[in-house]
Structure 1
Amino acid sequence: MSAGFGSKARLALLMASVAGATAISGCASNDKDLDLSAYVDTIEPADVLYNQALANLNAGRLDEAAKKFDAVDRQHPYSEFARKALVMGAFANYRAGKYDDSLAMTKRYIALYPTQPEAAYAYYITGLCYYRQIPDVTREQSMTRRSIAAFNEVVERFPQSEYVDDSKEKIRFGRDQLAGKEMQVGRYYLERKEYLASIKRFRGVVEQYSNTRHVEEALARLTEAYYALGLTSEAQSAAAVLGQNYPDSQWYKDSYKLLQSGGLEPRQNAGSWLSQAAQTIVGGKKNGA
């Protein structure tokens, strides 16, 4: 059903309702015309609405721009202008900080036009909406995961897109954020001497976020936790991997000192999970530090 037909149908229903009410009450005046214009959408050409929206956007009138873009989609659904208006409206809402409204438009675009030229931009704006809502590491990180997922769609589906480089950068930030959250929880358990729980978190950082800045501390914390449990071989392996990747690190110096206090030194155990994880770590030494 077209938007124009819908407006005429609403007008017909409204007129019938008003006529019925007038007949029953007998209070309506016969010498005055009813003004029903406020109840009916004004249908404008798609290109006119779209250009008005662009003018508002360029002038910084974000709310007005978003309304005009929405009107294009509502009055001229599935048209070429409506398709473009969805992503532009999403952008306007994003710039205005109306993330839920923006996400509603990007999701609609992706559902209707997953292979069209603006799809990469729709995924990118989706990622930006979640990215701007990422909280600090002490709080729940669902927004971080959603932003990473959206940016991954850009990278994997549209590898030639102009948004790939920035998406990759924001994925790196998001992964670092998730690693930071794991470290925060791991330190919480370590301070309470809940060593197994802390090891689980620190191990997750080493295995899942091996290219983040938190790996260095995670290896040192693993050395500490394993040593406290009397698992000296694992403690030595953690310290050895730490020393291989960050030989000048204060974390390594502290770990080395801890092992020396027990008459031990860093030594990698080939059978440890750490030996496998060491192959994926992008450490300071490998980066030329």
Structure 2
Amino acid sequence: MYKILPRILVSALLFSLMVGCANTGTTNDETKDWSADKLFSEAKSQQGSRDYTKSTQYFERLEARYPYGKYAQQAQLEIAYNHYKDQEPALALASIERFMKQNPAHPSLDYAMYLKGLVNFNESQGFLSALSKQDMSERDPRAAKESFMAFRELIVRFPDSKYSRDAQLRMGYLLGAMANYELHVGRYYYKRGAYLAAANRGKALIDNYSNTKQVEGALALMYHAYNKLGMTDYRDDAKRVLLKNFPNSTALEQDILSDPYWWAPI
């Protein structure tokens, strides 16, 4: 009897402490009595003050407490925006995908597509600004491609959206950037004696980015690569196409390995 009683007392004490802690946590939740309007307003206020973590907490509570209210869907978008501004691209993209999947006919779907493009666009900048000393043949410009596709979907589905014009401008930038990447990698292969791979990279650039100025450099790369391979017919075809499309070109006389600003699309 004397051995059992202390155990009961200890268990009761532990239970009291657990309840006390739970009550304390509930008491400290300043938002527990807030209406949906107040939660949304405070979340937007914190967002305006650039406290994106606090803002996200408020929006998450809003969505959890009022899942069918008028603010719930908007809260999902706001959370995605907060993650974007807080430099959490993976969380931002996950939030955007969730919103788009759950709300395929939402009036702000165009904004969600635009935000998806922006998140990937910012991610692509770190990739595109990398130093040319790195082994770029092993890098993947996936973010740039996904950004381009998101902007393109926006323009196709919502041509009159207020975000379409900016999306078009960013698409033009991305095209040039991705074409420059292809050209750089082709030169990387050429420098290492992989002439067929270099020629193929130049051809891929022309096939995929035919409206960019990098086509001139790609044709010059193909000319030199085919010349190294002794493939004179292909070499002469590359030269003919180059001079037909760029009659004043001096690309053939330039150093094919001179590539100091490959990441600059303009």
Range class of TM-score, shorter chain: 0.7 to 0.9
* Structure 2 residue matching 1:210: 3-state secondary structure: coil
The secondary structure found in structure 2 opposite 1:91 is helix
State the 1:85 CA deviation: 1.4
* Cα deviations by residue, 1:235-269 (Å, 9 ceiling, x for unpaired): 222222222322223215559xxxxxxxxxxxxxx
Cα distance change, pair 37–29 in 1 and its aligned pair in 2 (3 A): closer
Instruction: Give the % identical residues.
Output: 28
Shift in CA distance, 179/234, structure 1 to aligned 2, threshold 3 Å:
same
State the match for 1:150 in structure 2.
150
Aligned to 2:11: 25
Structure 2 equivalent of residue 197 of structure 1: 197
Is 1:113 the equivalent of 2:109? no
Amino acid at match of 1:65: S
Looking at structure 2, the residues matched to 28 and 240 of structure 1 have their Cα atoms a distance apart, in angstroms, of 86
Please give the alpha-carbon distance, in whole angstroms, between the structure 1 residues aligned to 2:15 and 2:249: 89
Bigger Rg over Cα: 1
Report the CA distance between 1:142 and its aligned residue: 1.7
Deviation digits for residues 74-98 of structure 1 (CA, Å, limit 9, x no counterpart): 2211432011111122112212212
Higher relative contact order (CA 8 A, sep 6+): 2
1:187 aligned partner: 187
Query: 1:100 aligned to 71, 90, 109, which one?
Result: 90
In structure 2, relative to structure 1, the CA distance for the partners of 1:155 and 1:43 (3 Å cut) is farther
Structure 1 residue 63 displacement after superposition: 2.3
- Which residue does the alignment assign to 2:113? 123
Number of aligned positions between the proteins: 233
Name the counterpart of 2:238.
Answer: 238
Change in CA separation of 1:98 and 1:22 when aligned onto 2, cut-off 3 Å? farther
1:157-168 matches, within 5 Å, as: 157-168=157-168
The whole-number CA distance in structure 2 between the counterparts of 1:114 and 1:106 is: 11
For 1:44, what is the secondary structure of its paired residue? Answer: coil
1:37 to 20, 23, 39: 23
Secondary structure in structure 2 of the residue aligned to 1:133: helix
Give the structure 2 partner of residue 210 of structure 1. Answer: 210
Counterparts of 1:250-289 in structure 2 under 5 Å? Answer: 250-252=250-252
For normalisation by structure 1, the TM-score amounts to 0.72
Distance between the aligned counterparts of 1:161 and 1:151, measured in 2?
11
Q: Answer whether contact 1:22 1:28 (CA < 8 A) is retained.
A: no
Partner Cα separation in structure 1 for residue 33 and residue 153 of structure 2: 36
Which whole-Å CA distance do the structure 2 matches of 1:43 and 1:23 have between them? 36
Letter in 2 for 1:36: A
C-alpha distance in 1 between matches for 2:93 and 2:101: 12
> Quick one: distance in 2 between partners of 1:43 and 1:111?
31
Q: Counterpart amino acid of 1:194?
A: A
Letter in 2 for 1:77: P
CA distance in 1, matches of 2:218, 2:15: 81
Q: 1:2-40, CA deviations, whole angstroms, 9 ceiling, x for partnerless residues?
A: xxxxxxxxxxxxxxxxxxx9777243799xx94633444
Matched with 2:178 is 178
* Separation in 2, partners of 1:56, 1:28: 38
- Distance, in Å, in 1 between the alignment partners of 2:93 and 2:99 is 10
Cα-to-partner distance string for 1:215-251 (whole Å, 9 max, x where unaligned) = 1100111111222233333222222222232222321
Structure 1 residue aligned with 2:258: none
Residues 251, 72 of structure 1: CA spacing in aligned structure 2 closer, same or farther, 3 A cutoff? same
Please state how far the C-alpha of 1:157 moved relative to its aligned partner: 1.8
Match in the other structure for 1:271: none
Q: Distance in 2 between matches of 1:23 and 1:156?
A: 70
**Change over 3 Å in CA distance of 1:29–1:250 after alignment to 2:** closer
Separation of aligned partners in 2, 1:82 and 1:221: 54
User: CA RMSD for the aligned pairs?
Assistant: 2.6
Q: Summarize the Cα distance change of 1:28–1:166 in structure 2 as closer, same or farther, 3 Å threshold.
A: closer
Q: Deviations over 1:51-70 (max 9, x none)?
A: 11112222333222222222
* Distance in 1 between residues matched to 2:79 and 2:207, nearest whole Å: 40
Q: Cα gap change, 1:44/1:223 in structure 2, threshold over 3 Å: closer, same or farther?
A: same
| Gap runs ≥5 in structure 2 | 1-6, 131-135, 256-266
Change (3 A) 1:37 1:103: farther
Partners of 1:89 and 1:105 within 8 A in 2: yes
Contact between 1:243 and 1:252, CA under 8 Å: does it hold in 2? no
With over 3 angstroms needed to count, the CA separation of the structure-2 counterparts of 1:153 and 1:23, relative to structure 1, is farther
Show the counterpart of 2:261.
Answer: none
Give the deviation of 1:156 after TM superposition.
1.8
Flag the 1:145–1:50 CA change in 2: closer, same or farther, 3 A.
same
| CA displacement at 1:133 relative to structure 2 | 1.2
